[in-house]
């Protein structure tokens, strides 16, 4: 295929992917679902499982093998911008002294991990069969634990706004806890992957040491330089954005060279990016990166969906899928609900927090793609886990409507305040889909009137 033909196919594929993602994302929103559900289904529909069934080799014609690396590269760039924005908005200081959020966060992280590892230990044969006879070793065990512990903060932010929970106590606690859970999950995932699937202990130690050195360089060398550059009086945003993009791309390249995924470097670049004097992200710097990542994210959904092959699943795979979904739902809903109830919240609000934490969506897809590319999971198990992410995310809306009841709203937000914890807006849902809860605390019954942080 000539270079002109490759360009033509890439442009055509982009048009189809963006249009399909927009259409099905909008349809999902009209049906009361987060757009990510429709966007991922668009990716699956454009893959071999559905488009490949049409006569005339429609899938091979639209997405020939020659353009697959280009589409994958665009998807990775979208993830770099997206994770950079997530890291830039992340603020773990919101849990200091907040017992309710701390309890829900720890419970919502640990219990799902235990269930994820537990089902692998109980069913090693079915998991090995669904995973292409890959060994159910410690790497796989920890990976499945992380896969079931994830909560998608951006999707959760969209759901909280769409369901009218912005400013309520359940929405606030769930959003803050989800940010902490994901912040705990990324380092564990990095530890799992740093030595490769079957890396030797020496290789693992060398890469871990290099990773620690790289993090120290980013914190104590790059961050001060960025603060000096961005903090110069009169520096226009047009000069800040290219520097931030360069740091994000270079950091992603560095972690990829260390044997990790590009997402870890992008996330770290966002974390070390200097903020405004009041501790909030600079919206002038954040918005261009969010918008650019939002335009490219359909490629990630398309690449993720194309890797889902449903026609090769057997009846035993479907039974395993039911076990995975049950463990995922019980792990999140039970841990979040019981932890919130232990903080003396009403049962209805506690259950609502558990249901909100059960939202996975985009962040889960990122984790699954990392595992697939690293060889930790194979195509069949990947397909099962993608279906699990779709089911748990789609179930959030109906369950929330069943449980929701009026709650005391938070005071109006202060001007310029923006939530921490990765409230990056969902693609196609407008420039401000993440809830912007109040900066003032609300009473927390678990502390006898202490504040509940805002996500």
Give pLDDT tens digits for 229-265: 877 777 777 788 888 999 999 999 998 888 778 888 9
Place of tokens 């009218």: 164
Q: Which residues contact 270 (CB under 8 A, 6 or more apart)?
A: 83, 84, 85, 86, 87, 88, 89, 90, 248
Mean pLDDT over the full length of the chain: 81
The answer to whether residue 321 scores a pLDDT higher than 60 is: yes
CB 327 within 8 A of CB 127: no
Strands 450-452 and 442-444: antiparallel
C-alpha torsion 107→108→110→112, nearest 10 = 130
- Kindly give the residue spans of alpha helices, DSSP state H, lying in 33-98: 35-45, 58-62, 68-89
Percent of the chain with pLDDT over 90: 32
Q: Identify the burial level of 301 via C-beta atoms within 10 angstroms of its C-beta, where 0-12 means exposed, 13-18 middle and 19 or more buried.
A: buried
Looking only at Cα atoms, what is the longest distance across the chain?
70
Q: Poorest-confidence range of 87-96, 237-246, 307-316?
A: 87-96
Beta-bridged to residue 452, according to DSSP, are 442
Predicted pLDDT at 392: 92
Q: Poorest-confidence range of 290-299, 356-365, 383-392, 414-423?
A: 414-423
Q: How confident is the model at residue 201 (pLDDT cuts 50, 70, 90)?
A: low
Higher pLDDT, 197 or 394: 394
Provide the phi-psi class of 308: left if phi over 0, else alpha when psi is between -120 and 50, else beta.
beta
Q: Identify the burial level of 118 via C-beta atoms within 10 angstroms of its C-beta, where 0-12 means exposed, 13-18 middle and 19 or more buried.
A: middle
Percent of the chain with pLDDT over 70: 85
**Model confidence, pTM:** 0.78
Phi, then psi, of 199 in degrees rounded to 5 = -65, 145
The answer to whether residue 86 scores a pLDDT higher than 70 is: yes
Q: Which residue, 87, 81, 72, is CA-closest to 301? A: 72
Q: Which residue, 388, 356, 338, 333, is CA-closest to 112? A: 333
CB 333 within 8 A of CB 354: yes
CB 433 within 8 A of CB 161: yes
Q: Poorest-confidence range of 99-108, 320-329, 438-447?
A: 438-447
The answer to whether residue 351 scores a pLDDT higher than 70 is: yes
CB 345 within 8 A of CB 172: no
The answer to whether residue 299 scores a pLDDT higher than 50 is: yes
CA distance 157 to 234: 34
Q: Which residues contact 389 (CB under 8 A, 6 or more apart)?
A: 40, 360, 361, 364, 365, 368
Instruction: Say which DSSP state 411 is in.
Output: P
């Amino acid at each position: 295929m000539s270079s002109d033909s490759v360009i033509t196919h890439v442009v055509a594929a982009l048009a189809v992917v963006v249009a399909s993602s927009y259409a099905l994302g909008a349809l999902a929103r009209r049906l009361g679902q987060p757009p990510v559900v429709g966007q991922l289904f668009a990716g699956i529909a454009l893959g071999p499982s559905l488009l490949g069934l049409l006569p005339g080799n429609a899938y091979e014609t639209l997405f020939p093998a020659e353009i697959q690396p280009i589409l994958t590269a665009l998807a990775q760039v979208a993830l770099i911008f997206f994770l950079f924005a997530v890291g830039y908005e992340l603020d773990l200081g919101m849990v200091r002294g907040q017992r309710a959020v701390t309890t829900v966060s720890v419970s919502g992280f640990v219990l799902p991990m235990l269930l994820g590892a537990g089902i692998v230990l109980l069913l090693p044969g079915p998991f090995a069969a669904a995973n292409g006879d890959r060994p159910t070793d410690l790497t796989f065990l920890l990976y499945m634990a992380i896969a079931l512990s994830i909560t998608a903060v951006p999707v959760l932010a969209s759901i909280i706004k769409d369901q009218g929970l912005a400013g309520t106590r359940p929405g606030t606690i769930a959003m803050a806890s989800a940010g902490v859970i994901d912040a705990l999950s990324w380092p564990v995932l990095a530890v799992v992957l740093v030595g490769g699937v079957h890396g030797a202990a020496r290789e693992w130690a060398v890469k871990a040491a290099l990773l620690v050195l790289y993090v120290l360089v980013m914190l104590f060398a790059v961050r001060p330089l960025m603060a000096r550059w961005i903090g110069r009086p009169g520096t226009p945003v047009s000069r800040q954005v290219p520097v931030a993009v360069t740091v994000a791309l270079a950091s992603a390249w560095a972690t990829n060279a260390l044997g990790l995924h590009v997402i870890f470097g992008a996330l770290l670049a966002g974390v070390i990016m200097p903020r405004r004097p009041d501790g909030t992200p600079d919206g002038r710097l954040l918005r261009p990166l969010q918008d650019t990542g939002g335009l490219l994210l359909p490629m990630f959904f398309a690449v993720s969906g194309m890797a889902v092959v449903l026609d090769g699943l057997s009846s035993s795979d479907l039974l395993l899928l039911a076990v995975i979904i049950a463990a995922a739902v019980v792990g999140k809903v039970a841990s979040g609900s019981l932890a919130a109830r232990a903080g003396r919240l009403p049962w209805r609000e506690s259950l609502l927090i558990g249901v909100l934490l059960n939202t996975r969506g985009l962040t889960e897809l990122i984790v699954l793609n990392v595992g697939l590319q690293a060889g930790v999971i194979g195509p069949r198990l990947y397909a099962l886990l993608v279906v699990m992410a779709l089911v748990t995310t789609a179930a959030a809306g109906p369950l929330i409507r069943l449980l929701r009841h009026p709650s005391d709203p938070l005071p109006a937000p202060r001007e310029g305040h923006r939530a921490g914890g990765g409230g990056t807006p969902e693609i196609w849902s407008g420039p401000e889909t993440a809830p912007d809860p109040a900066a003032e605390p609300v009473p927390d019954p678990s502390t006898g009137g202490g504040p509940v942080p805002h996500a």
